[in-house]
């Protein structure tokens, strides 16, 4: 699965986020998600550098469920991240 040139350009310009979406058991798609421009007072904006998937993600992909949780609608995979902090909401401090 490869990102298109437009997807990569939008990602690096900070206009969109690429996410790996599990559509259903055994089916993945790389999708664009537009970024919300307004940053809330308790929010942070980060630029993702690397995202990993864990054993749970692989299990969802291969089996479509874990325990009682069944993938019934698209789900974004990946939650092990390395990111750069870009901006803090006005109520936050480092």
Q: How much is the pTM?
A: 0.71
More confident residue, 12 or 53: 53
Average of pLDDT values for 66-71?
A: 95
* Residue 3 pLDDT grade (very low, low, confident, very high; cuts 50, 70, 90): low
- DSSP state at residue 60: H
More confident residue, 2 or 82: 82
Q: What local confidence, expressed as pLDDT, does residue 49 receive?
A: 85
Mind listing the pLDDT tens digit for each residue in 15-67?
678 889 999 999 999 998 887 778 899 998 888 888 888 999 999 999 999 99
Average of pLDDT values for 79-94?
A: 88
Neighbours of 3 (CB within 10 A): 13
Task: Name the burial class of residue 57, with classes exposed (0-12), middle (13-18) and buried (19+) by CB atoms within 10 angstroms of its CB.
Answer: buried
């Amino acid at each position: 699965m490869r990102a298109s040139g437009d997807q990569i350009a939008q990602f690096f310009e900070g206009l969109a986020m690429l996410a790996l979406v599990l559509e259903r058991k055994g089916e993945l798609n790389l999708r664009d998600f537009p970024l919300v421009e307004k940053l809330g007072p308790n929010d942070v904006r980060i630029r993702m550098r690397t995202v990993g998937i864990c054993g749970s993600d692989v299990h969802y992909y291969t089996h479509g469920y874990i325990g009682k949780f069944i993938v019934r609608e698209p789900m974004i995979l990946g939650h092990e991240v390395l990111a750069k902090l870009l901006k803090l909401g006005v109520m936050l401090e480092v």
